[in-house]
Amino acid sequence: MGASRARRLSVLDASFLGMETRDTPMHVGALQIFSLPKNAAPGFVKSVVQRYRAPKAIGRPWNLKLAPVPLGRLLPAMHEADEIDFHYHVRHSALPGPGGERELGELISHLHSQPLDRTRPLWTCHVIEGLHDRQFAIYIKIHHALSDGVKGARMIAASLRDKPGTSLAPPWESQAPAARRGKPSAAPRAPASLRWLTTLPGAFRPLFLRTPDAPVVLRPFEAPNSALLNGRVTGARRIATQQLDLAQIRRIAKRAGASINDVFLAVCSAALRRHLLASDALPAASLTAGVPMSLRADGDDASGNAVGFIWASLATDIEDPRQRLAAIRASIGAWKQHLQSLDAAARLPFATLTFTPAVAVMVSGLGARLRPPMNVIISNVPGPEHPLYLGGARLDAMYPVSIPVQGLALNITGVSYAGKLNVGFTGSRDRLPHLQRLAVYAGEALAELDALL
């Protein structure tokens, strides 16, 4: 399969390859925790491994690998792999005793520190047994150039079933989507299809021309320096997890007139504030969060990324949790209001252009030396609302595992599933060696906010 069939990546997808170094592997991951079925045979987990290594078909993006094309480092392209070694891509592991959260966390931290092999399709899977309470885990990582968080959650959920059964199909077992039937829509006329170009200059106005009566739309590079969160990172990772109750979050959001994401940001803000105060490292000015915002339309199952960034104050300079939540709500609301005011076709280009300076700093390796574009990345990905099963094994939790980069030592991502918000904290091991404390603080911050409102 030659380079003639290769497809160039978008600028956004290519940027994730460009940012990758040994210290900044650019893959995202998912840690799934399952309970064994009742009366499960001793070889149940082995059966999962065997089935995962023998898919009936494989679809995009799992069959894509980097193509050898001219200027491939600057303008990378992907093509379909002729052969895939599933014994390489699907590994079988076992935890040492007692098989608790500590042992699992250490293993996932190690696995997530290892970069993907660029000569193969950019993903691997680890099926892990030996967990206590009759559980096993599946950890999958895939390069961010191939998938954003929303797409990744959809692919994993699509491979599971709503009820216990016998299907052990892996996420990569898929057929190319059938061509849509019906009369093709007429191509838009050029002036209409390019109308959004004329709106872009005005889209940047609120970022640079602020007026006293308008909400403040935060810009990149307005964040204060944080000794723990910003600076040089190494490739060693530390992973921590926390499971929050969605009903409790919704209750708080309703009382405060806020969104679920507002409350999640407030919980993360409180945890960060407490952690930095304990280290005598809280900046006087508020921390700023980069919040990925999915621009993927409903039903859009294309590989690649459709995500933009907005910048929100975490109000860590405010002591009162209720006032802090209100300030966060106002800050992120200003950005959302601005995005909604843009032509729909202009939103992704605007978000990409806004994020480009931050990407340039990170690609150049200067992120650890300059004022940070943000202090932390915090995202919230919607997931399935009902329980899912792999064969007869119930999915108990699905934790996202994400990406620290130079100048940004921490990423916090939540995925909703079956009444819970599963939160993954991914940090640079050298800068945040006690990351589990942050996860504990997040759980306590939610309880505190619930008691106050």
Within-domain flag for 393: no
Taking only the tens place, the pLDDT of each residue in 382-406 is: 899 999 999 999 999 999 999 998 8
* 48 class by beta-carbon count within 10 Å (0-12 exposed, 13-18 middle, 19+ buried): buried
pTM: 0.88
- CATH number of the domain that 294 lies in? 3.30.559.30
State whether 329 and 442 are in the same domain.
yes
State whether 144 and 265 are in the same domain.
no
Instruction: Give the Cα separation of 409 and 430 in Å (integer).
Output: 9
Taking only the tens place, the pLDDT of each residue in 83-124 is: 999 999 999 999 988 899 999 999 999 999 999 999 999 999
Taking only the tens place, the pLDDT of each residue in 229-244 is: 998 999 999 999 999 9
Within-domain flag for 356: yes
Q: How confident is the model at residue 22 (pLDDT cuts 50, 70, 90)?
A: very high
Residue matched to tokens 């091991």: 429
Q: How many domains does the structure of the chain reveal?
A: 2
State whether 220 and 91 are in the same domain.
no
Instruction: Give the Cα separation of 267 and 378 in Å (integer).
Output: 11
Indicate the residue among 131, 159, 187 that finishes a domain: 159
Within-domain flag for 429: yes
Within-domain flag for 127: yes
User: Which residues participate in catalysis according to the annotation?
Assistant: 144
State whether 314 and 414 are in the same domain.
yes
pLDDT score of 190:
41
Domain range for 102:
3-159
State whether 117 and 223 are in the same domain.
no
Indicate the residue among 126, 159, 192 that finishes a domain: 159
* 283 class by beta-carbon count within 10 Å (0-12 exposed, 13-18 middle, 19+ buried): middle
State whether 119 and 257 are in the same domain.
no
State whether 151 and 268 are in the same domain.
no
Answer for the pair 308, 292: CB distance below 8 angstroms, yes or no: yes
Q: In residues, how long is the chain?
A: 453
State whether 285 and 409 are in the same domain.
yes
Within-domain flag for 168: no
State whether 152 and 227 are in the same domain.
no
